[in-house]
Chain A
Amino acid sequence: MLTQLVTLLENKENGLSLSEISRQMNAQPTAVLSMIQLLVHKGKLLEIGPDNKCCTTCGFESDCGLLAARGKRYICPRRLPD
């Protein structure tokens, strides 16, 4: 499952949101989220903001209206734009 998830995101230039990943993997979002969290913890995936930047590491993440409205996306580190 983890390999499948990483492979899925390797082919997505702009990453995917939790709901998109769970749809594509045909699994419940809650189940997918724990996999994603493990992969993020291991550095296999990166959390990014809706603007395709690593804004999830920003100090204002909890106050960010953009992030609240559009949600996080997940991307393979090698796919991250410079």
Chain B
Amino acid sequence: MTITATPLFRLDYGGKIEREIARMLAAFDEANFDTGRYSRRWLAIKLLEKDPDVLEHVGSMEGGEKIIAFARERAGHVESMLGDDFDLLTADRRYGYINGIVRQSLHRPLIDRLTLTDRIDNIVTHKWLGLPVFFAVMYIIFRLVIDVSAPFLDWTDAVINGPFANWLSVLLDLVSAPVWLRSLLIDGIVAGVGGVLVFVPGLLILYFFLALLEDSGYMSRAAFVMDRFMRVVGLHGKSFIPMILGFGCAVPAVYATRTIASRRDRVLTALLVPLMSCSARLPVYVVFGLAFFGARAGTVIWGMYALGIVVAMVAGMVFTRTILKPDVSSAFVLELPPYRQPALKSVLIHMWENTREFVRKAGTIILSASVVMWVLLNLPWGVADQRDSYFGKFSSALSPIFAPLGFGNWEAGGALVSGFMAKEIVVSTLSQIYLGDTEPKPVESTTFAEDLTFIGKGFVDAGINSGRIFLSILPGVNLLEEGTQTEDTILSLALRDNFNTLSALALLVFVLLYVPCVATLGAIKHEFGTSWAWVSAVYQTGIAWIAAFLVYQVGHLLGFG
């Protein structure tokens, strides 16, 4: 096809380039150069741009070599003047022209403008704001968990120790159960397992908020923010996932270290994971928090979680500089999905699955431990005072170790030893010891219908109170009546007789940091061998003792407690 028509449009390339094009056209005329089917102007531009196809074609034409030499000379002249390749100069003009037309004729939003996700990320993944935002989010969640769940904790406690214990008692009367069976079921299992099940509402709320964070997409931002933090400690960014899992349970968290490539990073992560406060410790925090810190319980519990992270940092830095020196690090790749509105169904499934695991544990490990603990607290058979039982004597022998920490009583020592099986057992053991020691409250005679009404009404009241507390957390809203407080449980009252605020705080610090539970140690042994399991047990117990000692003794010197 021959292009003969005069073009309707001619792009102006600007003075210098246009002059060279004109010179090329003059050179065509002078050499009688026939451009054939090509437009003269187009060919002149292509020759100046040194287009290889055009050069090859023109080179084969008569007089073409001379024209090419002239084009090279003129292009070189322009390039030396304007400091860029000729083809880039012409392309720049074309793009400028196109851009001008687009701006004048087309009005559409830029599809790549900052999205809502980008705007949120600018804050939550900010170099300096990221970490404070993360800690603030965690603080708000723990406040919500503790404050909002408190009425439900009271309700569960009242149901287990009220109607449920009464029904069991009536049932045992009906079958003329022996005294030992009554003691085992009421003082052992109801006190032990019930003492732990009381915290199910708190865990439901905790898992609800964690599911919200996960489903909304914030958790991956938290991982991104914590990556820098991890590197300070000498850990790989991938370690964050096991660390986050550690807030639920350390056992899957230890196995999750398999995703980390380097063995050194895996070992270090597994040693630090148990310092993340697992959900099993939450009942201990809540019992002591509500008993000793009242309205500040949420802050104290958040403080425990924060302390676990800080101690993990320090321990990580020490390990990195001593027995686990860093090797070559690889990049941390993490996809940050856009923020999404969490699906209620998914959040509820997440809540249920995690809480079901806790309840299952209560029905197996804690039930078994409660039975064992009841046996130990009652041997030799018929012992009048639990202190004189085998368990009491063993715990009394251990108590001097804990005396400098402020909780040198045998009950605390015994509970901490039993907590080696699972941390919730600290609460169930304390419940068994203290509740077993208390005189049974006279049982009010109630009908089954009255009990059901009590349970239903208590649940509705708890829901209303939780709603009020939740709304009162919002700035400027106060729906709480003066003096509104959660009720003291029997265990809270007993704890206050045996601990003071400072020793309670020291005990919480000890529970946070001391030897991981047997299942976690088993996982570490399985993954890394016996020696690392021993390292984990020994270093954590050592840190726990020192930290609790400092809390108690320094607090004492400062006049607290």
Which residues of A are at the interface with B, using a C-beta cutoff of 8 A?
1-3, 19, 22-23, 26-29, 31, 35, 38-39, 42, 44, 50-51, 65-66, 69-70
Minimal beta-carbon separation of B327 from chain A (angstroms): 18
* Residue contact B331 to A26, C-beta cutoff 8 Å: no
| Residues of A with C-beta under 8 A to B87 | 42
Roughly how many angstroms separate A70 CA and B334 CA in the complex, as a whole number?
9
Which of B110-118, B184-192, B282-290 interfaces with chain A? Answer: B110-118
| Residues of A with C-beta under 8 A to B334 | 69
* Residue contact A42 to B96, C-beta cutoff 8 Å: no
Given contacts A2-B95, A35-B95, 13 further A-B contacts (CB under 8 A): A1-B92, A2-B88, A27-B99, A28-B110, A28-B111, A28-B112, A29-B111, A29-B112, A31-B98, A51-B331, A65-B333, A69-B335, A70-B333
Minimal beta-carbon separation of A34 from chain B (angstroms): 8
B91 at the interface (CB under 8 A from A): yes
Roughly how many angstroms separate A70 CA and B335 CA in the complex, as a whole number?
8
B331 touches which one: A1, A28, A66 (CB < 8 A)? Answer: A66
Minimal beta-carbon separation of B92 from chain A (angstroms): 4
* Residue contact B110 to A22, C-beta cutoff 8 Å: yes
Q: Which of B101-136 contact A (CB under 8 A)?
A: 102, 110-114
Roughly how many angstroms separate A51 CA and B332 CA in the complex, as a whole number?
10
* Residue contact A19 to B91, C-beta cutoff 8 Å: no
Minimal beta-carbon separation of A44 from chain B (angstroms): 7
B85 touches which one: A29, A42, A50, A65 (CB < 8 A)? Answer: A42
Q: Which of B55-85 contact A (CB under 8 A)?
A: 84-85
| Residues of B with C-beta under 8 A to A1 | 92, 95-96, 99
* Residue contact B112 to A22, C-beta cutoff 8 Å: yes
- Considering only CB atoms, which chain A residue lies closest to B114 in the complex? A23
Minimal beta-carbon separation of B90 from chain A (angstroms): 10
* Residue contact B92 to A42, C-beta cutoff 8 Å: no
Interface pairs (15), CB distance under 8 Å: A1-B92, A1-B96, A2-B92, A2-B95, A22-B112, A23-B112, A26-B110, A29-B112, A38-B88, A38-B91, A39-B88, A42-B87, A44-B88, A66-B333, A69-B334
- Considering only CB atoms, which chain B residue lies closest to A35 in the complex? B95
| Residues of A with C-beta under 8 A to B111 | 28-29
Minimal beta-carbon separation of B328 from chain A (angstroms): 14
| Residues of B with C-beta under 8 A to A3 | 84, 92
Minimal beta-carbon separation of B116 from chain A (angstroms): 15
> By DSSP majority rule, is chain B's interface helix, strand, loop, or mixed?
loop
- Considering only CB atoms, which chain A residue lies closest to B94 in the complex? A1
* Residue in B102, B110, B114 with the greatest tally of chain A CB atoms within 10 Å: B110
Roughly how many angstroms separate A38 CA and B111 CA in the complex, as a whole number?
23
Roughly how many angstroms separate A23 CA and B109 CA in the complex, as a whole number?
12
Take A31-B99, A42-B85 as given contacts and tell me if A69 and B112 are in contact as well, using a CB distance cutoff of 8 Å.
no
* Residue contact A23 to B110, C-beta cutoff 8 Å: yes
Roughly how many angstroms separate A66 CA and B237 CA in the complex, as a whole number?
14
| Residues of A with C-beta under 8 A to B102 | 28, 31
| Residues of B with C-beta under 8 A to A70 | 333
| Residues of B with C-beta under 8 A to A29 | 111-112
Roughly how many angstroms separate A29 CA and B112 CA in the complex, as a whole number?
7
| Residues of A with C-beta under 8 A to B92 | 1-3
Roughly how many angstroms separate A1 CA and B98 CA in the complex, as a whole number?
10
* Residue in B96, B111, B333 with the greatest tally of chain A CB atoms within 10 Å: B333
Roughly how many angstroms separate A14 CA and B102 CA in the complex, as a whole number?
30
Roughly how many angstroms separate A79 CA and B113 CA in the complex, as a whole number?
27
| Residues of B with C-beta under 8 A to A35 | 91, 95
* Residue contact B91 to A2, C-beta cutoff 8 Å: yes
Roughly how many angstroms separate A1 CA and B97 CA in the complex, as a whole number?
9
| Residues of A with C-beta under 8 A to B98 | 31
| Residues of A with C-beta under 8 A to B113 | 23
* Residue contact A69 to B333, C-beta cutoff 8 Å: yes
| Residues of A with C-beta under 8 A to B110 | 22-23, 26, 28
Minimal beta-carbon separation of B418 from chain A (angstroms): 46
Roughly how many angstroms separate A22 CA and B438 CA in the complex, as a whole number?
74
Minimal beta-carbon separation of B101 from chain A (angstroms): 11
Minimal beta-carbon separation of A50 from chain B (angstroms): 8
- Considering only CB atoms, which chain B residue lies closest to A34 in the complex? B95
Roughly how many angstroms separate A82 CA and B99 CA in the complex, as a whole number?
36
| Residues of B with C-beta under 8 A to A42 | 85, 87-88
Roughly how many angstroms separate A1 CA and B541 CA in the complex, as a whole number?
65
Minimal beta-carbon separation of B484 from chain A (angstroms): 50
Minimal beta-carbon separation of B277 from chain A (angstroms): 31
* Residue contact B333 to A19, C-beta cutoff 8 Å: no
| Residues of A with C-beta under 8 A to B112 | 19, 22-23, 28-29
| Residues of B with C-beta under 8 A to A2 | 88, 91-92, 95
| Residues of A with C-beta under 8 A to B91 | 2, 35, 38
* Residue in A1, A35, A50, A66 with the greatest tally of chain B CB atoms within 10 Å: A1
Roughly how many angstroms separate A69 CA and B91 CA in the complex, as a whole number?
32
- Considering only CB atoms, which chain B residue lies closest to A39 in the complex? B88
Roughly how many angstroms separate A29 CA and B113 CA in the complex, as a whole number?
10
Roughly how many angstroms separate A65 CA and B92 CA in the complex, as a whole number?
34
Minimal beta-carbon separation of B225 from chain A (angstroms): 17
Roughly how many angstroms separate A3 CA and B92 CA in the complex, as a whole number?
7
- Considering only CB atoms, which chain A residue lies closest to B335 in the complex? A69
Roughly how many angstroms separate A74 CA and B114 CA in the complex, as a whole number?
20
| Residues of A with C-beta under 8 A to B84 | 3
Roughly how many angstroms separate A28 CA and B102 CA in the complex, as a whole number?
10
